[in-house]
Amino acid sequence: MCARYVITSPPNAIRALFGYDEQPNFPPRYNVAPTQPIPIVRLVDGKRQFALMRWGLIPAWVKDPKKFSLLVNARGESVLEKPAFRNAMRRRRCLIPADGFYDWRDGVPRRPYFVHRKSSDGPMAFAGLWETWTGPNGEELDTAAIVTTRANTMLASVHDRMPVIVPPEAFNLWLDCAEVDGTTAAALIAPAPETLLAYYEVSTAVNRAANDEPHLIEPAASKQPDQPAATEQPRDANKRNEQLSLF
């Protein structure tokens, strides 16, 4: 699951990696939360396009968004079958730029961790889906969700889910919905390589969505980066009741 993430790379670095023509100027974000606008990259008429969308997908067939549960994540194992995601998986796949994400290890209290690339080579790309919801008066709302998969071994001691991370060489495969069907694209839905990511504990200040400062990604006091607690075991996936399993 991914409920908060970070995007701190300069706009020109993100533009260089994702290859779109637009030149948006946006500030670093240290605590992106659901319902907030997020940058996405999609393919429009064969060209990569930057866009801002609300984080929390609303399928086109929804009558009243206020009565529909917020779809922040889409479980990769069922995106081709679930009514909320199957059309987007076939026709509206996107990439979501990010520099890392937060996850929480169960306990009292729950402890937050920042997950990031081991190297400092710039941003990475989450697999995403997007939809445009049209209201009864013609109003439109663009929305997106992050595709998740089971956690790799490295991250499993913190959480049993993680975002799908698409490598640059596979950007076209994920984005090109005209030439690549959903079943073929779904081959990219897999845990990240064990050597790609690392994590460390951070302050519980990240629990509050209003907090959005650089100190949120600093290691918690007296904690050693990238070292999971030796006494804790990987979580049981059956204990996690994700909201998306309802759709």
pLDDT digits (tens, 9 = 90+) for 67-95: 999 899 999 999 999 999 999 999 999 99
Q: How confident is the model at residue 244 (pLDDT cuts 50, 70, 90)?
A: very low
CB 112 within 8 Å of CB 206: yes
Q: State mean pLDDT over 9-25.
A: 96
Tokens of 121: 């080579």
Supply angle C-alpha 155, 1, 7, rounded to 5: 85
- pLDDT for 225 equals 47
pLDDT at 113: 97
Q: Please report, rounded to a whole number, the percentage of residues in the chain having pLDDT higher than 70.
A: 89
Tell which wins on pLDDT, 185 or 26: 185
pLDDT class of 115 with cuts at 50, 70, 90: very high
More confident residue, 121 or 129: 129
pTM of the model as a whole: 0.88
At residue 223, the pLDDT reads 52
Higher pLDDT, 136 or 165: 165
Domains located in the chain, CATH noted: 5-246 (3.90.1680.10)
Confidence of residue 119 (pLDDT cuts 50, 70, 90): confident
Assigned token pair, 45 = 């008429």
- The three-class DSSP label of residue 31 is strand
With beta carbons less than 8 A apart as the criterion, state whether 203 and 215 touch. yes
Q: Quick one: pLDDT at residue 94?
A: 98
Tell me: pLDDT of 191 over 80: yes
| Spatial contact of 17 and 122, defined as CB atoms under 8 Å apart | yes
Determine the pLDDT at residue 85. 97
Residue 166 pLDDT exceeds 80: yes
